[in-house]
Amino acid sequence: MTTLDDCRALDAQDPLRPLRDHFLLPEGVIYLDGNSLGVMPRAAPARIADVVAREWGTDLIRSWNDARWFDLPQRLGDQLAPLIGAGAGEVVCTDSTSVNLYKVLSAALNIAREDAPARRRVVSERSNFPTDLYIAEGLCRERGLELVLVEPEDIAAALTGDVAVLMLTHVNYRTGAMHNMAAVTADAHARGILCVWDLAHSAGAVPVDLRGAQADFSIGCGYKYLNGGPGAPAFAWVHPRHADRFWQPLSGWWGHAAPFAFTPGYQPAQGIARYLCGTQPIISLSALQCGLDVFTAAGPLGGMAALRAKSLALTDLFIRLVEERCAGHGLGLATPRGHAQRGSQVCLTRDEGQGVDGRGSGAYAIVQALIARGVIGDFRKGDGGQGPHKDILRFGFTPLYLGHEDVWNAVEHLRTVLESGEWRRPEFNQQHAVT
Amino acid sequence: MTTLDDCRALDAQDPLRPLRDHFLLPEGVIYLDGNSLGVMPRAAPARIADVVAREWGTDLIRSWNDARWFDLPQRLGDQLAPLIGAGAGEVVCTDSTSVNLYKVLSAALNIAREDAPARRRVVSERSNFPTDLYIAEGLCRERGLELVLVEPEDIAAALTGDVAVLMLTHVNYRTGAMHNMAAVTADAHARGILCVWDLAHSAGAVPVDLRGAQADFSIGCGYKYLNGGPGAPAFAWVHPRHADRFWQPLSGWWGHAAPFAFTPGYQPAQGIARYLCGTQPIISLSALQCGLDVFTAAGPLGGMAALRAKSLALTDLFIRLVEERCAGHGLGLATPRGHAQRGSQVCLTRDEGQGVDGRGSGAYAIVQALIARGVIGDFRKGDGGQGPHKDILRFGFTPLYLGHEDVWNAVEHLRTVLESGEWRRPEFNQQHAVT
């Protein structure tokens, strides 16, 4: 059996421990929701204050040049690139994940339309992150294409000769299950299908090798594992073989070949600048830089490989402790045990009918009771027994700032909440409008 | 002849003078570029520091509820609405101007496709702000529609039976010329054409009455006259008669009827939430609120009507002083003299061949020399004698923080730069890579 002392010993030996000091962690909180909104880097308040007071307040319009606002999307992209197996000059940080997905999916469909006009389908997973499906649905509706949604085990069979694009999220937001990007991409390519990968739950969480996998297009999120701040701009990557064929209808001024010539006709810039559209929120973009700086600091400590090893150690530990210490309370495991199939989160299930008075699963109330104790995870609703998806208690593990003792303490809170029946209290069973 | 004392007397009587204290104006600067990037409200640093340190740093994911991030786009929209003649619940602040234009133009074309499928043209002005034309071009290319660009005097003649949408910017970015929104919209509607208005140089600068004009769709910019900070999110408005028909392909999670139900199919929210797409940059969005707060403070002082009166007084004064004090230096006036045709900026022209050694117009160098003296305006390149557009010296007048004495001093600097030949110095004649 693992003990608290074991956990402390592991933390004492942890070479990544100094990275925790790069963050301001709120007092009394064990934050297991970095896959929803990452915590604040310690450098962020001063950096943002400088952007506001000096770059905006004092230097004003001159900051386009002097503070290099103009190439900030590319500079941040270059800083992010090593985390996802991209080269320099291949990534931009800009817009939202949804808007970037629209761009790259449009571009992929434009290439497919030229090269294989008979291919009229986009395939994705039914349990992909909903906004990805909504964007694909909007685009398919606009173009008269068909969006085909399948279960993960049916993806290979769905890759038929009429498919233009396979659009997947690398790590599933509900379960933490991870695709084998290289194998899936190779399979799709062998059938003439382009691959779009969403790295929302991968960038900064697991090693990604977009170039190694020969992926075609990719996008991802700045405010989860990259700790870029609430609603931080997202990113987009395009394999260099497609860069100069990249065409998308969000053709705004910042993607123009001569953005300050103010000519009436659109000429896309060479290379990645053409993935840009309108003027970017510079203050939020600067906050993202603080998040990326921590990964730069992690480089000499082993970078993504070391972070991955620690992430797996933490999620292994969490699974083991839950199974050892919280047995008999109806929890199941939604996240794969195999390391190659797991992202940086652990999702527990609870069956329908285990809630208060047999109504619902009680998972929502357990998450609320944990939050009241300062253990912040989140709840993802299942299909209420109507389908295969159970209610989920979701816990993200960010190796940059979490330790083994945090995991121990989180599980102890979970055990107490379950054993004491604390989760049955009425205040934890009233579902809030938002969350 | 107007004197400096006259200007000081006018400032002493100015009922809007207290609004100047809502801004931090850099020492030694006369800022005539608020139509490019507005100055910083005094409240911004503290407000943003609180969003960063407390809402993000301490409260983290709980701020979606506790700090009301979730309805921030609508709350800011409601605060902005009175400035543009919109009702409560009709405006959202979100994304970039370019992305919002894509949304509303898509929606307008979708409505036209249903109601009048034979209409296959979009009409705009050739000298519209380029990014608007680029977005329209991208969308028309995608849908196989024709984008027709005409000179302002030819708009009426271009509104033929095959036109679906007329897309105009209310105040021209190059000249400051303002359309009669109500008349143009009525003319277009009489011919069965929907109207999309870009308010980038209008919102916060001139009174706008979208509902009174019966406009169909509108978008605008947060970082110019609204002083929302660099790259602040933009806004979108839809007339209530179209709100529930509004459909656009950027159908992200934040526009969903049940954004936290995580269902795979897209169902647009009722009303304005459907204009939203992905997660917004909360820090930048919060800065925009500081800009809007100043307009709220301006309400009891007379609001947009008082601001308009002062804006016209300042631009009248600038024109008069330039003509009185800078005569004989080859400057012309691009901005209309008639109040009904003028926005809140004055654009001066200079003919080709008047630059150093007869090369170019010298306008760029004059602007640079002014900037070196702390008088910040900007330069917009003409067509180098190839067409009707001369080089432009562009000066924006924000009545929130500028006074008559500022105008006097700006013209004095311009006079000195011209009379002394200071603008001929080599350092002012080297065009920079960016602005």
The pLDDT tens digits for B7-16 are 999 999 999 9
- Is A394 designated active site? yes
- Is B47 designated active site? no
Residues A21 and A118 placed together within one structural domain of the fold:
no
Which residues in A lie closer than 8 A to residue B57 (C-beta atoms)? 24, 26, 39-40, 44-45
Chain B interface mutation, best of A39, A42, A52, highest count of B Cβ atoms under 10 Å: A52
Which residues in A lie closer than 8 A to residue B130 (C-beta atoms)? 253, 256, 262-264
Q: For the purposes of burial, counting CB atoms within 10 Å of the CB of B15, is it exposed (0-12), middle (13-18) or buried (19 or more)?
A: exposed
Which residues in B lie closer than 8 A to residue A220 (C-beta atoms)? none
The CA distance from A414 to A373, in Å, is 9
Residues A229 and A334 placed together within one structural domain of the fold:
no
* Residue stretches of the annotated binding site of A for pyridoxal 5'-phosphate: 97-98, 129-132, 169, 198, 201, 223, 253, 279
| A205 closest CA partner among A396, A55, A394, A52 | A396
Alpha-carbon distance B113 to nearest alpha carbon in chain A (angstroms): 12
CB contact (8 A) between residue A229 and residue B283? yes
CATH number at residue A273: 3.40.640.10
| pLDDT on residue A411 | 98
Q: What is the pLDDT along chain B (435 residues), one digit of tens a residue?
A: 899 999 999 999 999 999 999 999 999 999 999 999 999 999 999 999 999 999 999 999 999 999 999 999 999 999 999 999 999 999 999 999 999 999 999 999 999 999 999 999 999 999 999 999 999 999 999 999 999 999 999 999 999 999 999 999 999 999 999 999 999 999 999 999 999 999 999 999 999 999 999 999 999 999 999 999 999 999 999 999 999 888 889 999 999 999 888 888 999 998 889 999 999 999 999 999 999 999 999 999 999 999 999 999 999 999 999 999 999 999 999 999 999 999 999 999 999 999 998 999 999 999 999 999 999 999 999 888 888 889 999 999 999 999 999 999 999 999 999 999 999 999 999 875 444
Residues A250 and A147 placed together within one structural domain of the fold:
yes
> Could you give the C-alpha distances from B33 to A270, B130, B223, B434, in angstroms and in order?
30, 19, 11, 16
Q: Could you say which of A57, A137, A433 has the minimum Cβ distance to residue B266? A: A137
Domain boundary among A284, A299, A314: A299
| CA-based nearest residue in chain A for residue B55 | A230
Q: What is the pLDDT along chain A (435 residues), one digit of tens a residue?
A: 899 999 999 999 999 999 999 999 999 999 999 999 999 999 999 999 999 999 999 999 999 999 999 999 999 999 999 999 999 999 999 999 999 999 999 999 999 999 999 999 999 999 999 999 999 999 999 999 999 999 999 999 999 999 999 999 999 999 999 999 999 999 999 999 999 999 999 999 999 999 999 999 999 999 999 999 999 999 999 999 999 888 889 999 999 999 888 888 999 998 889 999 999 999 999 999 999 999 999 999 999 999 999 999 999 999 999 999 999 999 999 999 999 999 999 999 999 999 998 999 999 999 999 999 999 999 999 888 888 889 999 999 999 999 999 999 999 999 999 999 999 999 999 875 444
The CA distance from A38 to A249, in Å, is 31
| CA-based nearest residue in chain A for residue B230 | A282
Alpha-carbon distance A368 to nearest alpha carbon in chain B (angstroms): 12
| pLDDT on residue B432 | 53
A218, part of any domain:
yes
CB contact (8 A) between residue B229 and residue A56? yes
- Is A359 designated active site? no
CB of A217 within 8 Å of a chain B CB? The answer is no
Residues A257 and A114 placed together within one structural domain of the fold:
yes
**In sequence order, which residues have a C-beta less than 8 Å from that of residue B96 and are 6 or more positions away?**
A95, A252, A277, A278, A279, A280, B231, B233, B234
The answer for B 315-374 residues in CB contact with A (under 8 A) is: 371
Pairing of strands A234-238, A375-376: unpaired
CB contact (8 A) between residue A250 and residue B65? no
Which residues in B lie closer than 8 A to residue A279 (C-beta atoms)? 96-98, 223, 230-231
CB of B42 within 8 Å of a chain A CB? The answer is no
CB contact (8 A) between residue A40 and residue B53? yes
| A293 closest CA partner among A61, A17, A5, A78 | A78
Which residues in B lie closer than 8 A to residue A231 (C-beta atoms)? 69, 279-283, 285
CB contact (8 A) between residue A261 and residue B149? no
Q: For residues A120 and A146, is the Cβ–Cβ distance under 8 A?
A: yes
Residues B105 and B162 placed together within one structural domain of the fold:
yes
Q: Could you say which of B53, B262, B284 has the minimum Cβ distance to residue A45? A: B53
Give the largest CA-CA distance in chain B.
70
Domain boundary among A299, A315, A332: A299
The catalytically annotated residue of A23, A173, A223, A395 is A223
| pLDDT on residue A408 | 98
Q: For residues B22 and B297, is the Cβ–Cβ distance under 8 A?
A: yes
Q: For residues A408 and A402, is the Cβ–Cβ distance under 8 A?
A: no
A41, part of any domain:
no
Q: Could you say which of B31, B63, B127 has the minimum Cβ distance to residue A230? A: B63
Answer yes or no: is B130 a known binding residue: yes
A208, part of any domain:
yes
| B25 closest CA partner among B325, B409, B286, B379 | B409
Domain boundary among A299, A328, A353: A299
The CA distance from B381 to A283, in Å, is 29
| A226 closest CA partner among A51, A406, A401 | A401
| Amino acid code (one letter) for B233 | P
The CA distance from B331 to B345, in Å, is 16
Which residues in B lie closer than 8 A to residue A285 (C-beta atoms)? 231, 281
Buried b (16+ CB within 10 A) or exposed e, B326-362: beebbbeebbeeeeeebbbbbbbbbbbebbeeeebbb
> First CA to last CA across chain A, in angstroms?
36
B373, part of any domain:
yes
Alpha-carbon distance B14 to nearest alpha carbon in chain A (angstroms): 25
| CA-based nearest residue in chain A for residue B39 | A57
A87, part of any domain:
yes
| CA-based nearest residue in chain A for residue B224 | A61
The CA distance from B399 to B39, in Å, is 12
| B124 closest CA partner among B211, B188, B191, B207 | B188
CATH number at residue B383: 3.90.1150.10
Residue A269 CA, distance from chain mean position: 28
CB of A133 within 8 Å of a chain B CB? The answer is yes
| CA-based nearest residue in chain B for residue A377 | B61
Cα angle value B42/A43/A231 (rounded, 5°) = 70
CB contact (8 A) between residue A380 and residue B262? yes
Chain B interface mutation, best of A50, A114, A131, highest count of B Cβ atoms under 10 Å: A131
CB of A78 within 8 Å of a chain B CB? The answer is no
| B145 closest CA partner among B135, B153, B154 | B135
B69, part of any domain:
yes
DSSP A341-383: GB-SEEEEEE-TT-SGGG-S-SHHHHHHHHHHTTEE-EEE---
Residues A126 and A275 placed together within one structural domain of the fold:
yes
Domain around A405: 4-31+302-428
ipTM confidence? 0.96
Residues B283 and B255 placed together within one structural domain of the fold:
yes
Q: Could you say which of A40, A49, A62 has the minimum Cβ distance to residue B56? A: A40
Residues A193 and A327 placed together within one structural domain of the fold:
no
Residues A195 and A289 placed together within one structural domain of the fold:
yes
Q: For residues B287 and B260, is the Cβ–Cβ distance under 8 A?
A: no
Give the largest CA-CA distance in chain A.
70
Residues B234 and B353 placed together within one structural domain of the fold:
no
> Could you give the C-alpha distances from B289 to A68, A95, B72, B137, B272, in angstroms and in order?
25, 20, 9, 32, 19
CB contact (8 A) between residue B265 and residue A61? no
CB contact (8 A) between residue A56 and residue B40? yes
The answer for A 373-402 residues in CB contact with B (under 8 A) is: 376, 378, 380-381
A96, part of any domain:
yes
Q: For A233, list phi and psi in degrees, rounded to 5.
A: -55, 150
CB of B430 within 8 Å of a chain A CB? The answer is no
HSE on the CB side for B240, CA within 13 Å?
8
CB contact (8 A) between residue A264 and residue B133? yes
The CA distance from A348 to A332, in Å, is 5
At residue B340, the 3 state secondary structure works out as helix
Residues A345 and A293 placed together within one structural domain of the fold:
no
The answer for B 233-272 residues in CB contact with A (under 8 A) is: 233-234, 248-253, 256, 260-266
Residues A276 and A398 placed together within one structural domain of the fold:
no
Q: For residues B364 and B429, is the Cβ–Cβ distance under 8 A?
A: yes
Strand partners, A345: A396
The answer for A 219-238 residues in CB contact with B (under 8 A) is: 223, 229-234
A37, part of any domain:
no
DSSP B89-125: TSEEEES-HHHHHHHHHHHHHHHHHHH-TT--EEEEE
Pairing of strands A234-238, A217-220: antiparallel
Instruction: Provide the domain count of chain A.
Output: 2
Q: H or E stretch including A194?
A: strand A194-198
The CA distance from B400 to B294, in Å, is 8
| B31 closest CA partner among B371, B260, B423, B379 | B371
Q: For residues A34 and A399, is the Cβ–Cβ distance under 8 A?
A: no
- Is B187 designated active site? no
- Is B381 designated active site? no
The catalytically annotated residue of B23, B173, B223, B318 is B223
Q: For residues A174 and A334, is the Cβ–Cβ distance under 8 A?
A: yes
pTM of the entire predicted model: 0.96
